[in-house]
């Protein structure tokens, strides 16, 4: 399907904004990339990219095409998944391990849907912090991990799963949260709850604080707790605040028990990743990853 491959070439160029990077990613030559883009522009009778020396940018038409191309490839992936599911009779045992946030707030509805579709697969879920999940994977105590954090282990393959944001949260009645925003200087004085050492959440927070000139040692840490649930219940009964995944606090934000307090200049975004061992080629972890990605769309 020539049009489909041209569309894939276009999508890759549009994402990378580079013909060279697109060629490398698609394992074709740069002239071949240029040829496919020109043919697509001729077919659609419009320019898709503005070229300014070595730099390129999407035209309005290119932005529209990218939007629809993303939807088309989502449909193809979902179609392939559902057709393959019909022809496969899957059974066996899948041992999952997930960091606390993923295990409590992200995976449960996916696990329920997975069980309804693949009821012959026995699934177990172990909950530990990110560091412990990586260790369990390397010791082959689990088949597939779901973690957050920046650390990269050379023995582990990381597959991007889901975007997340960590926010500073306070009890809605907390007088320190009245303005809804604090600066770096004020953050130093606020009594804070943090996750325990080894937590992926703590690692991400530590990395992000550098952007406003702070380290964990600069904070007024009241206590370190090992779960978001403990932290939420704690702040509901105190004037402390906590850095928590937005996925973990949606219910409390909707009920107005808690509120988000913005920190000037600080944005803490991260990804949850699937983790498998390099060279691992087991069918059930791959099946679960594909199903989870399909469910999150």
Specify whether the CB–CB gap between 240 and 191 falls below 8 A: yes
State how far the Cα of 236 lies from the Cα of 87, in Å rounded to an integer: 50
Residue 147, φ and ψ in degrees, nearest 5:
-135, 170
Specify whether the CB–CB gap between 49 and 38 falls below 8 A: no
More confident call, 262 vs 203: 262
Angle at Cα 207 formed by Cα 202 and Cα 211, nearest 5°?
Answer: 135
Segments in the chain forming alpha helices (H): 2-16, 19-26, 30-44, 60-87, 100-101, 107-117, 130-138, 184-189, 200-209, 228-235, 246-254, 283-296
Tens digits of residue pLDDT in 111-134: 999 999 888 889 999 999 888 999
Separate counts of helices (H) and strands (E) for the chain? 12, 13
| Mean pLDDT for the stretch of residues 246-269 | 93
Q: Output the pLDDT for position 151.
A: 66
The percent of residues above 70 in pLDDT, for the chain, comes to 93
CB atoms within 10 A of CB 243: 24
| Mean pLDDT for the stretch of residues 239-255 | 93
The SS3 assignment for 248 reads: helix
Tens digits of residue pLDDT in 203-215: 889 999 999 999 9
Tens digits of residue pLDDT in 180-194: 999 999 999 999 999
Match 């177990």 to its residue by tokens: 124
State how far the Cα of 161 lies from the Cα of 142, in Å rounded to an integer: 18
Label residue 258 by pLDDT band (50, 70, 90).
very high
Specify whether the CB–CB gap between 110 and 295 falls below 8 A: yes
More confident call, 52 vs 63: 63
Kindly state the tokens that stand for 74: 């989502």
Sign, Cα dihedral of 209, 213, 217, 219: negative
Name, in order, each residue with C-beta under 8 angstroms of 295's C-beta and a sequence gap of 6 or more.
109, 110, 113
Closest by CA position to 167, among listed 251, 265, 243, 106: 243
């Amino acid at each position: 399907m020539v049009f489909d491959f041209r569309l894939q070439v276009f999508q890759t160029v549009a994402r990378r904004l580079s013909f060279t990077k697109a060629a490398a990613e698609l394992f074709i030559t740069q002239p071949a990339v240029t040829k496919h883009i020109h043919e697509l522009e001729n077919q659609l009778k419009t320019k898709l990219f503005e070229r300014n020396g070595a730099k390129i940018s999407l035209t309005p038409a290119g932005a529209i095409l990218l939007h629809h191309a993303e939807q088309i490839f989502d449909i193809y992936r979902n179609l392939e998944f559902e057709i393959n599911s019909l022809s496969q009779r899957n059974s066996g045992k899948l041992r999952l391990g997930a960091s606390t946030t993923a295990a409590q707030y992200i995976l449960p509805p996916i696990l329920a849907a997975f069980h309804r579709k693949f009821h012959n697969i026995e699934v177990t879920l172990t909950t530990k912090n990110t560091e412990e999940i990586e260790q369990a994977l390397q010791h082959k105590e689990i088949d597939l991990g779901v973690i957050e954090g920046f650390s990269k282990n050379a023995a582990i393959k990381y597959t991007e799963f889901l975007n997340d944001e960590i926010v500073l949260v306070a009890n809605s009645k907390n007088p320190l949260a009245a303005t809804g925003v604090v600066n770096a200087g004020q953050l130093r004085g606020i009594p804070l709850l943090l996750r325990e050492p080894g937590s992926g959440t703590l690692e991400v927070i530590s990395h992000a604080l550098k952007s406003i000139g702070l380290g964990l040692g600069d904070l007024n840490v009241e206590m370190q707790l090992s779960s978001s649930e403990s932290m939420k219940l704690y702040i509901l009964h105190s004037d402390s605040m906590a850095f928590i995944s937005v996925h973990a606090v949606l219910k409390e934000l909707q009920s107005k028990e808690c509120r988000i307090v913005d920190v000037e200049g600080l944005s803490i975004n991260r990804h949850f990743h699937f983790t498998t061992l390099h060279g691992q080629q087991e069918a059930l972890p791959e099946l679960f990853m594909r199903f989870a990605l399909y469910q999150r769309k």
